[in-house]
A and B are shown apart, each in its own frame.
Chain A
Amino acid sequence: MTGRSLTSRLALLAPAWIGVAFVVLPLLALLVRADWPHIGTHLAAPVVGESLRLSALTTSLTMVVVWTLGTPLAWILARSDHPLTAWGRALITVPLVLPPVVGGVALLMTWGRRGVLGGWLETTFGITLPFTTAAVVMAEIFVAMPFYVISVEGAMRGLDRRFDEIAATLGAGPVRTFRTVVVPMVLPGIAAGSALAWARALGEFGATITFAGSFPGRTQTAPLGVYASLERDPQAAIALSLVMLLVSVVVLGALRSRWLR
């Protein structure tokens, strides 16, 4: 190897490794600073179990809604030739880049007691959403759905149009084609999109604390639990962070070989 090509290779390798270290070091720091001998005690802190239970519940409900609404939406985005489709796709992806706290303010302005729809909901049905578990689910849907729709749309777009055409010639209506042909063929895409959306819902913080507030067992999800306990019981915060880190690594690790390419 000539000196020149070695320098050139280093010019790429050095920043690449700095990049890796920048992301991985803080994750390792969590492991280093954890109080391992007493980790069981810290994991038994009420905030850990309570907030993880709430996160499990809200992210599950979120996924049911995301599957129900997101799958047909992805299919329409993938197959529509309408010029407005591109705008629709752009709009649905806004929460991907929007600061979550802005999403929370937007949800409050819509569904709050003085919100555009929330005021009507309260006077007509007596339903108020802020400070409820339902508000947590709404915040999670808002931030997570775009991840799912974009992944699934990509998979559906790659599907040969001839499959739906053949199904149609065999007499299947659009709904039956969608259910029996399209969805089974894009299952890997659905799995990948679901995992990404679920992980995003699990990590949601800004929109939740803004729109749903923070109440143990009702609106205090795992990330809010980390934030609240950091000041009183930092080791419980670290223990809870470790659980979330483990879950994130497992989710992405499972996707790594099969679906995320």
Chain B
Amino acid sequence: MSRSFVPRRSVLRGALGAGALAAAAGPLAACAPGSSGSEPRKLTGTPSASAKGEITIWNRSGDLFKVFDAAIDAFRKAYPDIKVNHQAVDIDAKLANTLISGTDLPDGSFWDDAKIGGQAEHLYDLTDLIAPYRDRTSAYKLSVNTVGGRIYGVPWDLDPGLLWYREDLLEDAGVDPAGLKTYDDLLAAARSLREKNPAARPLHMEKDPLLGQLWLEMLAGQQGTSLADADGQVRLDSKEYRNVLNWVRDAVDDDLVTHAEYLKQADLAALENGQQALVPWAVWWSFAPQQLLKKGKGKWRAAPLPAWTPGGARSGAMGGSSFIIPAKAKNPELAWLLYEFLCFKEPGYSAVYGPSEVYPGGLTTSVPSYGPARRPDKPLFEPVAALGGQDLWKVAVDAADTIPSAAPIPAWWAKSVDYLGNNLQRLIEGKMSPDDVIDDSTKKIQRNLVDRA
């Protein structure tokens, strides 16, 4: 056997060392975290009506994509020299990564309000462009798009909370929907419904932790608070959250609750068989009677939410979306023109909310955040047959006007569901008290999210 000129172990060791040096010294230094941070930029200039160019816009796939596609057609007619590539994209999966990497970016995108605050450094500051519309835009929507006093999203839809109820069942139980002015009235109505039908569990309480937390935020927002303050500090330990959580506990203790996942089979079955008759939820619940319910179709109605204190606000926001323009977009000015058209110009918002091929009666799952688009006397969508012909527009825009402003949604909000969303479920299951929910969630959100933000 011949002897190797250089021992194999030495070759390995040397190569490993060289590899490590090469890896550590060159590329590592160049690609090390923090070496290529991006600075947020301010978008100020509005291009002229004769602007030319091409933009790529991302939207959610599904019905809403088709609605926007039709509305973008109206934009193309107004600005014939701007070519819009409208793409259906899994925004939740792709947008954040694309913003961070800075490659293959769209010029604008649809996005949840809850996600904008966390990515502000990768977005254009739109404060100056939105200034002319600011006074007439929902204070709530402006607040959730604002980070450090600057606005990073073009406010689009406003999702007011409403009280959905089965008119026939309430009538049978002798409950007047107009009399449901406080949350105590709501509990009393639920008891009346159960007296009429012992199998009834009239109040819907959400089983999905994320939607459950969104629902809780709607009820807290109705009282003018939210999970985090303007500095991103947790403010769960408050009178307002205690009000909501104590009310939930009372409803659970009185066995008035159907605990089911939003519009999954068990929920639909309980809605159809009359077990559930009261659903405090966002305006987008209108989807259920219009698309999913069969027996209950035509029997559901919407009313303002009850107030937490007599004379208090009758609605809160549950979700919502806006439009963002990435700081590294190629044609940000043209993207702004499109979003300005869709959100603040009459032909634009009418094209979005008005009758379309997808929704012949108009888009009924939200209302515009821009005040002039929300006139009660100029409805953008028609009365809804699946709600017995009720004028949902008027109910929704009246409710939208009462939504108090909030604080910016912190970047860690979605992650807080692991604590608050889960603990809310434990409360509904009777495994935790309201104080436990507040103490445990506050402690864990502070340690795991706020301190490490």
A binds B: no
